[in-house]
Chains A and B, each alone.
Chain A
Amino acid sequence: MNSPITIRVQKVKKNRIRERLFIFLILVVILLLVSFFADKIVPYAPYAQNLSLSRQPPSAAHWMGTDQYGRDVFSRVIVGAQASVFSTLILVGVISVFGTAAGTLCGYFGGRTDSVVMRVSDVCLAFPGLVFALAIAALLGGGISNAVIALAVISWPKYARVARGQTLALKNSDFIAAARLAGDTSAQMILRHILPNILGPILVTAMLDIGTMMMELAGLSFLGLGAQPPMAEWGNMMSGGRSMLQTYPWLVLSPGVAIFLTVVTFNLLGDTVRDYLDPKNAGSQ
Chain B
Amino acid sequence: MEPVLKVTDLSKSFSRAGKNEFFAVDHVSFAVMPGEILGIVGESGSGKSTIAKLITRQIDATAGKIEIDGQDITWLNGRQMIPVYAKIQMVFQSPKGSFDPRRTLGDGICESLRNQGVPKAEREAMARSLLEQCGLPGDFLERYPHQVSGGQCQRAAIARALMCDPKILIFDEATSALDVTVQKQIMELLQMLQQKNHLSYLFICHNLALVQQFCDNVIVLYDGKIVEQGRPDEVILHPKSEYAKRLVEAVF
A contact residues vs B (CB 8 Å cutoff): 173-175, 177-186, 188, 192-193, 196-197
With A177-B58, A178-B98 known as contacts, the answer to whether A183 contacts B86 (CB < 8 A) is yes
**Nearest chain B residue, comparing its CB with the CB of A285:** B146
Query: What residues on B are CB-neighbors of A186 within 8 Å?
Result: 78
Contact A174 B111 (CB under 8 A): no
Query: What residues on B are CB-neighbors of A193 within 8 Å?
Result: 100, 103
Min CB gap A192→B, angstroms: 8
**Nearest chain B residue, comparing its CB with the CB of A178:** B98
B contact residues vs A (CB 8 Å cutoff): 56, 58, 78-79, 82, 85-86, 88-90, 92-94, 97-103, 108, 111-112, 115-116, 157, 160, 164
Contact A175 B99 (CB under 8 A): yes
Contact A181 B108 (CB under 8 A): no
Among candidates B90, B98, B111, B164, residue contacting A184 with C-beta atoms closer than 8 Å: B111
The 4 closest A-B pairs by CB, nearest first: A182-B112, A182-B111, A174-B98, A183-B115
**Nearest chain A residue, comparing its CB with the CB of B161:** A181
Min CB gap B229→A, angstroms: 27
Contact A183 B99 (CB under 8 A): no
Query: What residues on B are CB-neighbors of A192 within 8 Å?
Result: 100, 103
Contact A177 B56 (CB under 8 A): yes
Among candidates A174, A175, A183, residue contacting B112 with C-beta atoms closer than 8 Å: A183
Contact B101 A181 (CB under 8 A): no
Bound-state CA distance A177–B88 (Å) is 13
With A182-B85, A182-B115 already in contact, 5 other A-B pairs whose C-beta atoms are closer than 8 Å: A173-B97, A182-B111, A183-B115, A184-B115, A192-B100
Contact B102 A185 (CB under 8 A): no
Bound-state CA distance A239–B76 (Å) is 63
Most buried by B among A177, A185, A188: A177
Min CB gap A195→B, angstroms: 10
Min CB gap B88→A, angstroms: 8
Min CB gap A108→B, angstroms: 12
Bound-state CA distance A192–B85 (Å) is 19
Q: List 28 A-B contacts (CB under 8 A).
A: A174-B97, A175-B97, A175-B98, A175-B101, A177-B56, A177-B90, A177-B92, A178-B157, A178-B160, A180-B85, A181-B56, A181-B85, A181-B88, A181-B90, A181-B112, A182-B85, A182-B115, A182-B160, A182-B164, A183-B82, A183-B85, A183-B86, A183-B111, A183-B115, A183-B116, A184-B115, A196-B102, A197-B100
Min CB gap A32→B, angstroms: 28
Most buried by A among B93, B94, B102: B102
Query: What residues on B are CB-neighbors of A182 within 8 Å?
Result: 85, 108, 111-112, 115, 160, 164
Query: What residues on A are CB-neighbors of B164 within 8 Å?
Result: 182-183
Among candidates A178, A181, A184, residue contacting B99 with C-beta atoms closer than 8 Å: A178
Contact A174 B92 (CB under 8 A): yes
**Nearest chain B residue, comparing its CB with the CB of A194:** B100
Min CB gap A271→B, angstroms: 23
**Nearest chain B residue, comparing its CB with the CB of A186:** B78
Contact A179 B56 (CB under 8 A): no
Contact A174 B58 (CB under 8 A): no
Among candidates A179, A185, A188, residue contacting B100 with C-beta atoms closer than 8 Å: A179
Bound-state CA distance A98–B86 (Å) is 35
Min CB gap B124→A, angstroms: 15
**Nearest chain A residue, comparing its CB with the CB of B102:** A196
Query: What residues on B are CB-neighbors of A178 within 8 Å?
Result: 90, 92, 98-99, 108, 157, 160
Query: What residues on A are CB-neighbors of B112 within 8 Å?
Result: 181-183
Min CB gap A196→B, angstroms: 5
Min CB gap A191→B, angstroms: 12
Bound-state CA distance A174–B160 (Å) is 14
**Nearest chain B residue, comparing its CB with the CB of A193:** B100
Query: What residues on B are CB-neighbors of A173 within 8 Å?
Result: 97
Bound-state CA distance A182–B161 (Å) is 8
Query: What residues on A are CB-neighbors of B98 within 8 Å?
Result: 174-175, 177-178
**Nearest chain B residue, comparing its CB with the CB of A179:** B111
Most buried by B among A173, A181, A192: A181
Contact A174 B56 (CB under 8 A): no
With A175-B97, A175-B98, A197-B102 known as contacts, the answer to whether A181 contacts B89 (CB < 8 A) is yes
